[in-house]
Amino acid sequence: DQQVKQNSPSLSVQEGRISILNCDYTNSMFDYFLWYKKYPAEGPTFLISISSIKDKNEDGRFTVFLNKSAKHLSLHIVPSQPGDSAVYFCAASAGGGTSYGKLTFGQGTILTVHP
């Protein structure tokens, strides 16, 4: 049972345009969501997060939107840059302190930004 799903395996975008990566979840207990970025042969690095009490969080070029009723979140990158080309993972955790930070990951979306 895939509790966090990223249905688009890949996304190709022109430099300067907007990249939108999507993520759906099924577990209503998830209350914290994170996006990680991963380059080849490296570990995932934290990008941005959002608590379930918010519907938007912004950090520079990166904005995450959360729609709790639809159990859907999205990551917007504006403007996209070639250095943004990487695999993006959506992750979720449940239960606040009792979850001990355990994360459930989506399958990842490969983003390619063309110059």
| Secondary structure element (H or E) that encloses residue 64, with its range | strand 62-67
Minimal distance, residue 44 CB to another protein, in Å: 5
Q: Which of 16, 46, 56, 59 binds another protein (CB under 8 A)?
A: 46
Window of 12-20, 60-68, 72-80, 98-106 that interacts with another protein by CB under 8 A: 98-106
> What is the distance between the terminal CA atoms of the chain, rounded to a whole angstrom?
38
Q: Does 107 bind another protein (CB under 8 A)?
A: yes
Radius of gyration over alpha carbons of the chain, in Å? 14
Which is closer to another protein, CB of 14 or CB of 26? Answer: 26
Which is closer to another protein, CB of 53 or CB of 115? Answer: 53
- Starting from the edge strand earliest in sequence, which strands make up the sheet with 4-5, in order? 4-5, 19-25, 72-77, 62-67, 56-59
Cα separation, 65 vs 53, whole angstroms: 12
Q: Which of 43, 60, 83, 115 binds another protein (CB under 8 A)?
A: 43
To which residue do tokens 């990551």 refer?
Answer: 75
Which x/- pattern over 3-42 shows residues binding another protein (rule: CB under 8 A)? -x-x--x----------------------x-x-x----xx
